[in-house]
Chains A and B, each alone.
Chain A
Amino acid sequence: MAPTAVRIPPATAASDTWLGFAEAFTAAHAAGGSIAEREARCVAAQLPHLFAGLDPDDCLPPPAAVAPPLGFSPEPGGYGWYWNQAEWDGCDWTGEEAARIAELAAYWRPHLSRGRAEARFGAADAAFAGRDFTGHPGAAFPLFRIAGLTPDYARVCAEGLPGLRARVEALGSDFGAGVVQVLAGLDAVLAAWVAQAHAPLAADLQALRCGPPQSLRQALQLGWLLAVASGSLNHGRIDDWAGPYLQADLAAGRLDHDQAQALVDAFWFRIAQRGNIWNGRVIIGGIGRRDPAAADAFALLALEASDRLGEILPQLSLRLAPEQDGALCDRALELLAKGRTYPILYNDSVNVPAVAVAMAISVDEAVHYLPYGCGEYTIHHAGVDTPNGILNHLRIMEEVLFGLPCGSTTLPAHLPAEHRVPHFSDIDALIAAYEDRVCAYLDALVVGQVASYDGLAQDACLLLPSALSDDCLARNKALLAGGIRHRGGTMESYGLVNAADSLHAIEQLVFIDGHCDLDQLRVALRDDWRGAEVLRARARLVPAFGNDDAQADAWYRRLHDQVCVACQARAASAGLDHYLVVCINNSANTHLGMQTGASADGRHARTALANAVNPQPGRGRAGAMAMLRSCAAPRCDHHAGAVQNLSLSASWFCGEQPVRALLAGYWAAGGSQVMITVTAPGELKAAMERPGEYQHLMVRVGGFSARFVDLDRPCQQEICDRALH
């Protein structure tokens, strides 16, 4: 999916230079040699085009440019060797230029990583409903990318670029030679900037060419340079790697607090400019930072920067640890109370041991778990855990109920009259069929996962990301060719809450109360509940996940455990160190829902699925405490991230800040993560217009609180009309 620009415009694309670049890049590729040599030549040619123009008076290297339409990248521009036809089509080319582009396209067709990965799908491809999960119904889709690679910023800051180069040179391998060539390309970029920049930027960049950073400013400069150059969209435990420089600068009087804040603000602005709303993670807080006091000082600047910027990026995430400075939590709540939606909160007491078990690693390593992207976990600079597949559980339920084959793209509403549906004698038979189908899709998805790694590894080393990740240099191997310490994979799971609620409703309506038989239910679903409004109402009376209802939550846990365990079980035979489910938060729940028919939980056809581990909109009616209890109940030690959203009214942050007690209970109950949105201007009005989506919204009426949608219209209007303070 293309990133959506934030309010801050991204650096403009220099499309007039694209064709010349593409021809040079193609020539570099066509010159032959080993895969490392070829990648090194191409990446060196590409590096200057990854950055926008330099502002000579800036404090940081230039912003990331819009990626060229042809290139090499783990993820930001495209997957591996990529060709972005839509970008080419978006420009006006002369006839002669168009012919040159066509020639390039013809050259690249057999070399593109995506095609190389797809060729490895084999029989598994039949299970995929296609490639575009936004375009048509389907249960499983492959994704093409190497996501979440996050450099070891601390190490490269400690040794500097020359130190890294010396270490790589000593490898004496083809892989090492490739890295050296990329570093030389990077040095050439720096040299060009040094020539253009004014002091102090010129001196800083020159210093980085010669040794490790000596100040916070230089550390941030290096961090930004490597993030863009290596194709990393996330910035790791930034308080850990940048905090010591801050502390040293403050102690030496090189910076005062305001100057340090200005630097962090500038770094934040760079991330926002990059505009990738699904990434841009910066992590602060948590267990395992080398210098907690220095890191905490940086983390406070980070919180302040997010407050000042007030943007949807960066995705500031605060890991909470028991011994941590309480000022971080205090400041975090201040930001949330303002409706900033950041930081996202993570509970280390739960997550560290859970990650250790899920990834089968030591606790010492698990302390460096890193939530990246939309909430997937990896181990900072020691793992690859990219999500390369999507599973829509509600679509699986639909397929099973209607007897549709694996990989089907047909909605029940479009089935021919003669279509035969399967018979299920009881709920257990239905569950068994559903679970079998989940397993069938996981068999295909794990093939897709490995293909996405191997399809790229056969043609590329990911030289710079390899040099910045653990063990690649020690093993003298590229990241995807046995270099990185933990070669894992993840699978994005959607619609699980709806599937659980649906099974619960089917059990109740069909097999316990006998309100309908399965055929009648199928007709109702096929017709999107038209003529079956009474049945739909009954379905919606069956308790749903997210209300601290024992039965409803047990249904969710059962399905969640099944898919997590089944996913894990596929790692070893696929040659992965682990293969884990992620229940994350992005817009796929909406896209998939738009391609899924009505469901037995009362959901209408072509409407959004529940988001991550949240109740379906309108079904969470028991308040924040109950919702969080439900969210805290599922196991955390067999997946790689599950996220929850919580919308709170501002009153939770007033006075004694009851939100603290709410969260304390949630963390103690095993809660791992929460994203908090405080009611924003306009939300009450939206709740009046679309009450079904705002069942959770609690308001202070007078001497008491009420669920906003339970108030009558005049009451709602009156509350809407109050000034929002």
Chain B
Amino acid sequence: MPCTETTGLVSAVHRAALHDGPGLRTTVFMQGCPLRCAWCHNPETWSMWPQLRFKGADCLACGACVTACATGCQSLTGNERVVDFARCDATGACVDVCPSGALSLSGNDMTVAEVTELLERDRVSMQHSGGGVTVSGGEPLAQPAFSCEVFTRAQAVGIHTCCDTSGHVAAGAIAAAVPVVDLWLLDWKASASQHQELTGVDRRRVERSFELLCSAGAAVWLRCPLVPGLNDSAEHFDDIAVRAREPSVQRVCLMPYHRHGSAKAVETGLSILDRPSATAEDAARWRDELLARGCGKLAA
């Protein structure tokens, strides 16, 4: 029988998420992202294909993966395990034989029906708290058909929908999603002059997405990751304050940098920024910067 279910490549699903929009939410992290933010806390979702993860601390050095791997990316010399991620073809053959869970794949196929079944389980808690489903990533609109179908089916049963996007997506994807997304969590990552350098992409598509959402009258929360000494420039704060004046923007959420992503980068053979996390003083200073610019929509 042919498969008629829309399928997405999903990195993880977190239930009862407290910080991905209002209320208690089920957050679906999509695999694959066009950006390469220096501070990313989910680098395992970068690849558009399944991404191998290796937690060295859990490895028993049994060697099963070495035998199973057809590309030679796994090696074991004595007790020293090395993973050559560049050679990995992400078939998951090593994951299947790994007895300890040290090896895993970020990015597994899920159908929309599987996601909606999970949502249904927590529907009472979601609705009681004004929560719902958030599709995040990775970039949810890099898999627009899947994400939109999740939103559509959720909305149809009265579940609130959030799209947590970088905005660096096709205009058509935004337009298709607008009717089925109740709240947009739009990342506002860096000033126009730094965006390419810090995220790997030019900001123009993000700006276009923002304008599309504003002109559609969509509800938007701007989410602003801030890294001390990196993107916390006066130019950036000026820009955020201006954007925040748009009627569509309901809230501005500051996201102080935390080095949590560094460990996951090591597990995936990637390299990202690794510096001390932002402090409470940094966060207070950033709030003051925005308040001084008349931004009255700061989240508590």
Identify the A interface with B (CB < 8 A): 515, 533-535, 537-538, 540-541, 548, 622-626, 629, 651-652, 655-656, 658, 660-662, 664-666, 668-669, 700-706, 711-712, 714-715, 718
Which residues of the partner chain A approach B16 to less than 8 Å between Cβ atoms? 623-626, 658, 662
Contact A664 B128 (CB under 8 A): yes
User: A625-B122, A660-B129, A711-B263 in contact; A703/B19 too (CB < 8 A)?
Assistant: yes
Contact A661 B18 (CB under 8 A): no
User: A534-B60, A534-B99, A652-B18 in contact; A665/B263 too (CB < 8 A)?
Assistant: no
Q: Considering the chains assembled together, what is the distance between the CA atoms of A705 and B20 in angstroms? A: 10
Contact B15 A661 (CB under 8 A): no
B215 at the interface (CB under 8 A from A): no
Could you say which of B100, B262, B300 contacts A655, with CB atoms under 8 Å apart? Answer: B300
Residue of A nearest to B278 (CB): A702
Mask, B1-44, CB within 8 Å of A = 1, is: 00000000000001111110011100000000000000001000
B260 at the interface (CB under 8 A from A): yes
Which residues of the partner chain B approach A629 to less than 8 Å between Cβ atoms? 121-122
Contact A704 B41 (CB under 8 A): yes
Q: List 11 A-B contacts (CB under 8 A).
A: A534-B99, A656-B22, A658-B24, A658-B131, A660-B129, A661-B131, A700-B18, A703-B258, A706-B260, A711-B263, A715-B258
B101 at the interface (CB under 8 A from A): yes
**Looking at the complex, which of B172-180, B192-200, B237-245, B249-257 is the stretch in contact with chain A?**
B249-257
Contact A541 B124 (CB under 8 A): no
Q: Considering the chains assembled together, what is the distance between the CA atoms of A715 and B277 in angstroms? A: 9
- CB proximity of A324 to chain B, nearest CB, Å: 17
Could you say which of A533, A626, A662, A712 contacts B263, with CB atoms under 8 Å apart? Answer: A712
- CB proximity of B130 to chain A, nearest CB, Å: 8
Contact A711 B260 (CB under 8 A): yes
Contact A534 B100 (CB under 8 A): yes
Could you say which of A656, A702, A714 contacts B129, with CB atoms under 8 Å apart? Answer: A656
Residue of A nearest to B126 (CB): A661
Contact A541 B101 (CB under 8 A): yes
B138 at the interface (CB under 8 A from A): no
- CB proximity of A421 to chain B, nearest CB, Å: 25
Could you say which of A534, A702, A705, A711 contacts B17, with CB atoms under 8 Å apart? Answer: A705
Residue of B nearest to A537 (CB): B100
Contact A714 B15 (CB under 8 A): no
- CB proximity of A32 to chain B, nearest CB, Å: 65
Mask, B109-132, CB within 8 Å of A = 1, is: 000000000000111111011110
Q: Considering the chains assembled together, what is the distance between the CA atoms of A540 and B278 in angstroms? A: 36
Q: Considering the chains assembled together, what is the distance between the CA atoms of A533 and B101 in angstroms? A: 13
Residue of A nearest to B100 (CB): A537
- CB proximity of B13 to chain A, nearest CB, Å: 10
Could you say which of B15, B62, B259 contacts A623, with CB atoms under 8 Å apart? Answer: B15
Interface bin, chain B: 35 or more
Contact B60 A702 (CB under 8 A): no
- 4 further A-B contacts with Cβ under 8 Å, apart from A538-B100, A702-B277, A705-B18, are A537-B101, A664-B124, A702-B257, A704-B260
- CB proximity of B252 to chain A, nearest CB, Å: 13
B168 at the interface (CB under 8 A from A): no
Which residues of the partner chain B approach A661 to less than 8 Å between Cβ atoms? 23-24, 125-126, 128-129, 131
Contact B125 A662 (CB under 8 A): yes
Could you say which of A534, A651, A700, A702 contacts B62, with CB atoms under 8 Å apart? Answer: A534
Contact B18 A651 (CB under 8 A): yes
B50 at the interface (CB under 8 A from A): no
Q: Considering the chains assembled together, what is the distance between the CA atoms of A669 and B125 in angstroms? A: 10
Interface of A is mostly: helix
Could you say which of A652, A666, A703, A718 contacts B255, with CB atoms under 8 Å apart? Answer: A703
Which residues of the partner chain B approach A704 to less than 8 Å between Cβ atoms? 19, 41, 258, 260
Number of A-B contacts (CB under 8 A): 110
Contact B14 A623 (CB under 8 A): yes
Contact B300 A658 (CB under 8 A): no
Please name the 8 residue pairs, one residue from A and one from B, whose CB atoms are nearest each other, closest first: A665-B125, A661-B129, A703-B255, A702-B258, A625-B16, A537-B100, A664-B128, A712-B263
Which residues of the partner chain A approach B100 to less than 8 Å between Cβ atoms? 534, 537-538, 541
B223 at the interface (CB under 8 A from A): yes
Which residues of the partner chain B approach A705 to less than 8 Å between Cβ atoms? 17-19
Which residues of the partner chain B approach A622 to less than 8 Å between Cβ atoms? 15
Q: Considering the chains assembled together, what is the distance between the CA atoms of A537 and B15 in angstroms? A: 26
B225 at the interface (CB under 8 A from A): yes
Which residues of the partner chain A approach B131 to less than 8 Å between Cβ atoms? 658, 661
Contact A701 B18 (CB under 8 A): no
Residue of B nearest to A626 (CB): B15
Could you say which of B62, B123, B223 contacts A703, with CB atoms under 8 Å apart? Answer: B223
Interface-centre pick from B223, B262, B263 (highest chain A CB count, 10 A): B263
Residue of A nearest to B15 (CB): A625
- CB proximity of B282 to chain A, nearest CB, Å: 11
User: A533-B60, A655-B300 in contact; A703/B256 too (CB < 8 A)?
Assistant: yes
- CB proximity of B73 to chain A, nearest CB, Å: 21
Contact A701 B128 (CB under 8 A): no
- CB proximity of A349 to chain B, nearest CB, Å: 13
Q: Considering the chains assembled together, what is the distance between the CA atoms of A537 and B255 in angstroms? A: 37
- CB proximity of A615 to chain B, nearest CB, Å: 15
Mask, B59-77, CB within 8 Å of A = 1, is: 0101000000000000000
Residue of A nearest to B258 (CB): A702
Q: Considering the chains assembled together, what is the distance between the CA atoms of A619 and B99 in angstroms? A: 16
Contact B121 A701 (CB under 8 A): no
Q: Considering the chains assembled together, what is the distance between the CA atoms of A622 and B256 in angstroms? A: 26
Which residues of the partner chain A approach B123 to less than 8 Å between Cβ atoms? 665
Which residues of the partner chain A approach B254 to less than 8 Å between Cβ atoms? 703
Could you say which of A537, A625, A714 contacts B259, with CB atoms under 8 Å apart? Answer: A714
Which residues of the partner chain A approach B24 to less than 8 Å between Cβ atoms? 625, 658, 661-662, 665
Contact B125 A702 (CB under 8 A): no
User: A622-B15, A662-B125, A704-B41 in contact; A538/B99 too (CB < 8 A)?
Assistant: yes
Residue of A nearest to B130 (CB): A656
Q: Considering the chains assembled together, what is the distance between the CA atoms of A541 and B104 in angstroms? A: 12
User: A538-B99, A702-B258 in contact; A658/B223 too (CB < 8 A)?
Assistant: no
Residue of A nearest to B254 (CB): A703
Interface-centre pick from B125, B225, B255, B256 (highest chain A CB count, 10 A): B125
Contact A537 B18 (CB under 8 A): no
Interface-centre pick from B17, B126, B258 (highest chain A CB count, 10 A): B258
- CB proximity of B299 to chain A, nearest CB, Å: 10
Which residues of the partner chain A approach B23 to less than 8 Å between Cβ atoms? 656, 658, 661
- CB proximity of B177 to chain A, nearest CB, Å: 23
Could you say which of B128, B253, B263, B277 contacts A718, with CB atoms under 8 Å apart? Answer: B277
Contact A548 B255 (CB under 8 A): no
Contact B128 A665 (CB under 8 A): yes
Which positions 72-118 of chain B face chain A at CB distance < 8 Å? Answer: 99-101
Contact B124 A703 (CB under 8 A): no
Could you say which of B99, B259, B260, B263 contacts A541, with CB atoms under 8 Å apart? Answer: B99
Contact A702 B260 (CB under 8 A): yes
Q: Considering the chains assembled together, what is the distance between the CA atoms of A538 and B101 in angstroms? A: 8
- CB proximity of B183 to chain A, nearest CB, Å: 15
Could you say which of A537, A623, A651 contacts B99, with CB atoms under 8 Å apart? Answer: A537
Which positions 133-183 of chain B face chain A at CB distance < 8 Å? Answer: none
Contact B124 A715 (CB under 8 A): no
Residue of B nearest to A707 (CB): B14
Interface-centre pick from B15, B123, B253, B278 (highest chain A CB count, 10 A): B15
Q: Considering the chains assembled together, what is the distance between the CA atoms of A625 and B277 in angstroms? A: 29
Could you say which of A533, A669, A700 contacts B19, with CB atoms under 8 Å apart? Answer: A700
- CB proximity of A582 to chain B, nearest CB, Å: 28
Q: Considering the chains assembled together, what is the distance between the CA atoms of A626 and B130 in angstroms? A: 19
Residue of A nearest to B253 (CB): A703
Which residues of the partner chain A approach B125 to less than 8 Å between Cβ atoms? 625, 661-662, 664-666
Interface-centre pick from A534, A541, A652, A666 (highest chain B CB count, 10 A): A534
Q: Considering the chains assembled together, what is the distance between the CA atoms of A665 and B19 in angstroms? A: 18
Which residues of the partner chain A approach B124 to less than 8 Å between Cβ atoms? 664-665, 668-669
Residue of A nearest to B262 (CB): A712
Could you say which of B126, B256, B300 contacts A702, with CB atoms under 8 Å apart? Answer: B256
